[in-house]
C-alpha cells in the first residue's frame, strides 16, 4: 500500500479552511442577531424617554432631541452587550442551583415585553408591529437571563468568598464594591416590578386568558419570580462593571467567566457611552401604569431613576469595553508584521 504524503497538507489545509469558514459564519450570525436585538431595543429606550417625561412632568424639543440621540446610543450599546454575551453564552445548567435559577429566566425576561410594546406604540408603529417587537425582545432576553442564571451560582460563591476574605482582611474597598453591587441591583429589581406585572398581564392576554382574579394573582406571583430571576443577570454584570472600573490589573475568574479586564482607555470610553443609556435601563424597568412599586407615590422616582442610571453605567461597561478591545486589537494585529516573516538583508 502506497501513501502519498503530498496529499496530507491538502487535507490539513481543507480542514483549516472549513474551520475558518465556520468561525466567520458564526461571527456573522452573532453580529446580525446583535444588530436585530439592538434595533428592537430602540423601542424600550423610547419607553424610557416617555417614563422620564412623565416623571419630570416636562416635555420640550430639547428633551426630545436629546432622547433620540440617547435612544440610538442605547440601541448600539445593547447590541454590543448582546454580542459580547453571545460569544461566551452558557445555556446548559451545570448544577441543580443553576437549573433552579434558569426556571426564573422567562419571568425575568418578561419585563421587556410590555416596555417594548409601549415604546413601539409611542413611535407610531401599528399594534401588530408593536406586539411583535415586544414578544421578540422577550424571547431574545430569555437567552441573556438563562446565561446569567447559569453563571450565578459560581458568581454567588465567588462573591461570598470575596466578602469573607475582604471582611477578614479588612479590605474595605472590596466590601464597598459588593455592597454597592447588591444595593444597585436590589433597587433596580424592585423598580422593575410594574414592568413585570403588566408584561405578564399582556402575555396572558395574548394567550386569550381572561384577566380576572386568578389571572391577577398570577401576575403578582410572576412579578415576584421576575424579581428573583432578574437578580442573577443584573448582579453579575453590575459586579463585573464595578470590578473593571476599580481595578488596575486583570482578574482571572473560573472557567465559565472570561477574565475581568483591567481599567484602561476602553473602560473610560465605555463609561462615557453608558452615561447616555439611562433611557434604555429606565424603559426596561418602567410602565405607564402603576400596579406595585410606582403606586406607592411619586417619591419612587427618586429610587428608580438613580438605580437605572447606576445600573446602566456599570452593567454596560463590560460589554462595550470588550467590544472596543476586540475591534481595535484586530486593527492593530492587521497592521503588525509577524516576526517570522521578517528577513534581514545585507547590502553586497
Is 340 part of any domain? no
User: Measured between alpha carbons, how far is 262 from 41 in angstroms, rounded to an integer?
Assistant: 29
User: Measured between alpha carbons, how far is 114 from 71 in angstroms, rounded to an integer?
Assistant: 17
Task: Note whether 139 and 110 are within 8 A (CB).
Answer: no
Question: What's the pLDDT tens digit per position in 101-150?
Answer: 899 999 999 999 999 999 999 898 999 999 999 999 999 999 988 988 88
Is 330 part of any domain? no
Is 20 part of any domain? no
List the domain range (segments joined by +) for residue 229. Answer: 25-310
- Any idea which residue has 430602540 for its cell? 42
Least confident of 45-49, 226-230, 322-326: 322-326
- Return the higher-pLDDT residue of 331 and 306: 306
Is 54 part of any domain? yes
Task: Note whether 271 and 317 are within 8 A (CB).
Answer: yes
Question: What's the pLDDT tens digit per position in 209-232?
Answer: 776 777 888 889 999 999 988 887
Is 19 part of any domain? no
Measured in residues, the chain has a length of 348
Q: What is the pLDDT of residue 258?
A: 57
Question: What's the pLDDT tens digit per position in 51-110?
Answer: 887 777 666 666 677 778 888 988 988 888 888 788 888 888 888 988 998 999 999 999
Is 326 part of any domain? no
Is 9 part of any domain? no
| Longest CA span, the chain | 95
Q: What's the structural domain count of the chain?
A: 1
Is 33 part of any domain? yes
The 3-state DSSP class for residue 126 equals coil
Task: Note whether 267 and 244 are within 8 A (CB).
Answer: yes
Amino acid at each position: 500500500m502506497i501513501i502519498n504524503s503530498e496529499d496530507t497538507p491538502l487535507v490539513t489545509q481543507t480542514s483549516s479552511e472549513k474551520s475558518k469558514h465556520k468561525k466567520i459564519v458564526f461571527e456573522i450570525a452573532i453580529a446580525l442577531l446583535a444588530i436585530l436585538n439592538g434595533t428592537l431595543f430602540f423601542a424600550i429606550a423610547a419607553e424610557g424617554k416617555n417614563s422620564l417625561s412623565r416623571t419630570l412632568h416636562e416635555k420640550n424639543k430639547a428633551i426630545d432631541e436629546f432622547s433620540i440621540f440617547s435612544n440610538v446610543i442605547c440601541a448600539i450599546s445593547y447590541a454590543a452587550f448582546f454580542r459580547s454575551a453571545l460569544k461566551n453564552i452558557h445555556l446548559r445548567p451545570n448544577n441543580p442551583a443553576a437549573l433552579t435559577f434558569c426556571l426564573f429566566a422567562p419571568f425575568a425576561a418578561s419585563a421587556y415585553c410590555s416596555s417594548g410594546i409601549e415604546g413601539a406604540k409611542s413611535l407610531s408603529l401599528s399594534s401588530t408591529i408593536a406586539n411583535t417587537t415586544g414578544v421578540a425582545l422577550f424571547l431574545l432576553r430569555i437567552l441573556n437571563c438563562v446565561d446569567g442564571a447559569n453563571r450565578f451560582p459560581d458568581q454567588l460563591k465567588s462573591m461570598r468568598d470575596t466578602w469573607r476574605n475582604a471582611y477578614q482582611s479588612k479590605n474595605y474597598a472590596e466590601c464597598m464594591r459588593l455592597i454597592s453591587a447588591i444595593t444597585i441591583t436590589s433597587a433596580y429589581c424592585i423598580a422593575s416590578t410594574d414592568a413585570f406585572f403588566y408584561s405578564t398581564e399582556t402575555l396572558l392576554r395574548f394567550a386569550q386568558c381572561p384577566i380576572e382574579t386568578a389571572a391577577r394573582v398570577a401576575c403578582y406571583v410572576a412579578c415576584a419570580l421576575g424579581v428573583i430571576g432578574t437578580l442573577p443577570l443584573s448582579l453579575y454584570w453590575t459586579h463585573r462593571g464595578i470590578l473593571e472600573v476599580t481595578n488596575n490589573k486583570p482578574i482571572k475568574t473560573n472557567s465559565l467567566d472570561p477574565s475581568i479586564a483591567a481599567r484602561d482607555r476602553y473602560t473610560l470610553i465605555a463609561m462615557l457611552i453608558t452615561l447616555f443609556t439611562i433611557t434604555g435601563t429606565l424603559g426596561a424597568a418602567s410602565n405607564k401604569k402603576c400596579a406595585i412599586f410606582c403606586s406607592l407615590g411619586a417619591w419612587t422616582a427618586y429610587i428608580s431613576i438613580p438605580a437605572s442610571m447606576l445600573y446602566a453605567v456599570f452593567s454596560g461597561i463590560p460589554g462595550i469595553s470588550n467590544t472596543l478591545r476586540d475591534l481595535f486589537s484586530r486593527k492593530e494585529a492587521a497592521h503588525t508584521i509577524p516576526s517570522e516573516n521578517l528577513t534581514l538583508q545585507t547590502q553586497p
